[in-house]
A and B are shown apart, each in its own frame.
Chain A
Amino acid sequence: MKVQIPIGPQHPALKEPISLRMTVDGEVITDADIRLGYNHRGVEKVAEGRNYIQNLYLTERICGICSHSHSTCFAQGVEKLMELTPPKRGMYIRYLVSELERVHSHLLWLGVAGHEAGFDSFFMYVWRDREIVMDLLEMISGNRVHYAINTIGGVRRDLDAGQVATILEGIATLKKRSEYYLRIGATEPSFVARIAGVGFLPLERAIALCAVGPTARASGWPRDVRKEDPYAVYDELDFEVATADTCDVLGRVVVRVKEVLESYKICEQILKTLPPGDIACKAPRKAMPGEVVSRYEAPRGENIHYIKANGTDKPERLKVRAPTLGNYPATVEMLKKGFIADIPLIFAAIDPCICCAERAVTLVSSRTGEESVVRMSDLRRRALARTDNAPVKGNAVWPF
């Protein structure tokens, strides 16, 4: 028997409004449908009526976790349109904030993943340490969420020697703790047992469905805008692209913790080679007619802004694609053949995943309504075949 269960738009397990229609067959999800738009604010239309500097603050408000990503993506596009060369010190500070933002976003995700997997002490440890990076961001910019540090042509606030020392100190503490979380997240048996094999997304499906960010990298697709299209300062920095090949939630945890460790490396390099000089250059009010495609690696994946200028102080068109939208088709794929119990683990963590155990095989007969007598040996054969075919739980390899 098929039953359709609506989850959302308002649901205790979801932190943001999205509507999921799950077609279930017993405990197993056979089909999933996503309905969006409950939080649609018309930012693209609003942007056409505002000037560039107003839009900088508008784009910052697209997201509350990766606010800096959108404003940086917009600012670097507009700087190209205006043919500005922002001073190097300003760029270093801008991308220092980017990396600290990635750290706070990944630590937030890690905590939520621990909470949804029922590992609440992990959640509390991680979120305690997230306060360190939040305090650093507050010290740099004056704000915890909307940093408002970008301006067109550079940044708005400088760093002094005392601040640099405090950030380095904070990063040293975080580095030590994150290494511990990598060990826990990847080897603690009960935690690994809960997340290994959940939300299976094979590499070829990740590629076909254009998955982005840690979701794609955890399926073994090493794509990172910072590496392949190095914007601003990233070609001067030394870092690795973190990947995993388990294609499940475990892989996504490992990728994110490794990325956090790479971010500390980047922050240290930036702070140790911080050049002297100005932090911003003067930007004109208007941009010459033209168009630019600006790409940025946000914590959740590739962020892309297409900006078309018409010679006035307002853009003709601003198209924003946030990484989560790019991951929805992959999400639907992950939901299919998963369990209902895995939905919160997945969606609350904004990293949609569902177990991939091949249970539908035994449910086919119940769906068609055929009454068939199955011998015990037949049932056993089917169960064995299922275990062999399941690409998950049984064969999931621990990375350590």
Chain B
Amino acid sequence: MTDAELIEKLKADLGDQVEIANPARRRIFLKVAPQRLVAVTTRLRDAFGVVFLSTISGVDMGETFEILYHFSTPETDFNLRTEIPKGDPHVPSITPIIPGAILYEREVQEMFGLTVDNIPDGRRLLLSDDWPDGQYPLRKDWKHVRPAEVIPGGKS
């Protein structure tokens, strides 16, 4: 099935829940509201056979976070895009639908400081246990400051 045929099918199926863009061959971008994310993902899985999630990307857009879910099937790639406000960053978990999403959700949660609602396992994945709260490395306003070197026993 070509991209154009798939887009027709998507439009007929999902209607105005999504905004569809197709900037290149095999790259379909769907924009969806965060409240509709779970419903659209379920529909994509059941009707279009989208079972494989490559990864979840987060982008700090200033006032908002853009979260992209990169799915692919043998026919094409679906990139599901949703935007959430930085002031109240909540995104629903898709792990109940795609079990392989768990690590990517944990990663995006700790790196951007957003809350993935209903995540089955919300522990830290990459950051260390003594990482200070409220520090989210991939936000644009976060800058790395190298801590002062401490020599045990002091300098001699």
- Which A residues lie at the B interface, using CB under 8 A? 36-37, 40, 42, 44-45, 80, 207-211, 223, 228-229, 290, 292-293, 295, 302, 304, 306, 308, 316-317, 319, 321, 325-326, 328-330
Contacts and interface: CB of A to CB of B under 8 A. Distances in A.
A210 B127 CA distance: 23
A40 B59 contact: no
B24 interface: yes
A301 to B, nearest CB: 10
B70 A306 contact: yes
Interface residues of B, number: 34
Contacts of B126: 36-37, 40
A226 B26 CA distance: 13
A223 B52 CA distance: 10
A221 B52 CA distance: 11
B90 interface: no
Given A209-B99, A293-B77, A325-B103, A302 B54 contact: yes
Contacts, number: 79
Contacts of A44: 138
30 contacts: A36-B125, A37-B126, A37-B127, A42-B144, A44-B138, A45-B138, A207-B51, A209-B99, A210-B52, A210-B54, A228-B72, A229-B26, A292-B24, A293-B70, A293-B77, A295-B54, A295-B77, A304-B55, A306-B55, A306-B57, A306-B68, A308-B59, A317-B59, A317-B60, A319-B57, A321-B104, A325-B55, A325-B103, A326-B55, A329-B103
B100 A228 contact: no
B102 interface: yes
Interface in B71-106: 72, 74, 77, 79, 98-104
B91 to A, nearest CB: 16
B120 to A, nearest CB: 12
A74 to B, nearest CB: 14
Contacts of B103: 325, 328-329
Nearest to A209: B100
B100 A80 contact: no
A319 B52 contact: no
> Which 3 pairs of residues, A with B, have the shortest CB-CB distance?
A210-B100, A321-B55, A37-B126
Interface string B114-155: 000000000011111000000001100000100000000000
B31 interface: no
Contacts of A209: 99-100
Nearest to A205: B99
Contacts of A308: 59
A326 B137 CA distance: 22
Interface in B31-71: 51-55, 57-60, 68, 70
Contacts of A37: 124-128
Given A45-B138, A316-B59, A330-B100, 13 more contacts: A37-B128, A40-B127, A44-B138, A208-B99, A208-B100, A210-B54, A210-B98, A223-B74, A293-B77, A304-B54, A306-B70, A329-B99, A329-B103
Given A45-B138, A293-B70, A308-B59, A229 B99 contact: no
Nearest to A330: B100
A262 B70 CA distance: 28
A209 B97 CA distance: 11
B144 A45 contact: yes
A326 B70 contact: no
B57 A317 contact: yes
Contacts of B104: 321
Contacts of B68: 306
Contacts of A295: 54, 72, 77
Contacts of B124: 37
Nearest to B75: A228
Nearest to B131: A37
B107 to A, nearest CB: 8
B45 to A, nearest CB: 11
